[in-house]
Amino acid sequence: MASNPIFVDPYRVEQSVLIAVHSTTLAVRGWTAGADGSRIHAISAAATDAGGSTMILYHAERMTLQTAMGTGALTDSTDTCTRTSGSFITDGWLVGDRLFVHGPTTLANTFFVTLTGVAALTLTFTGSTVDTAENLPSGAILYRLAQLHLTTLAANAGNAASTDALDMLITDYPAADATPDRYLTLGANDALVFSVGTAVGASPDRVDITCWGGDY
């Protein structure tokens, strides 16, 4: 590497998967940076879906922890996220931010959506977003997303002899390029989040995502 990074923790790998239920409106967290940030050296996406799709990658900034919300809740009747203590304003949320809910009890609540209103105790967004009302469990996190890249995922990528898995650190990607090395750098507690542009086919179809990297 051009800048000779020092990894204070073991080099590691994180895996995640997208399946039919995620459709195009739900996402998964594919990498979580350490307390001093991370450097991502490789991202692979492989699919068993014969229809093909697009892979969308987001930078995720950790904004609000469930442990700082008192009681954090998602309400389906009003399509809001609420808290009983702390402040979304103090956390830095703004109208127009893209919210991603990680770790709710209900998988269908792992949505990403643009905020239409921000108050101290309430985030408001487009109607019919919350699938099921729930109190957020321990470990849930609210992230702010910024899209980094969209790229084509070929049908059966990595699962057909003639079709390689998708290398997501390609040359037109916003990664630091110190040829022959290419990498992404994440700040403390940041994350990478993935979604698809076309829904994955019915089971057993899936998209497997693997990230390799290390922590500073």
Residue 10: pLDDT above 80?
Answer: no
39 in Cβ contact with 5 (< 8 Å): yes
Confidence of residue 3 (pLDDT cuts 50, 70, 90): very low
**Is the pTM here over 0.85, yes or no?**
yes
- Please state the rounded mean pLDDT for residues 4-25: 84
60 in Cβ contact with 190 (< 8 Å): yes
209 in Cβ contact with 11 (< 8 Å): no
- The reported pLDDT for the residue numbered 2 is 37
Other beta carbons within 10 Å of 150: 13
- Please state the rounded mean pLDDT for residues 164-178: 71
Residue range 92-107, pLDDT digits in tens: 999 999 999 999 999 9
Residue range 187-213, pLDDT digits in tens: 999 999 999 999 999 999 999 999 999
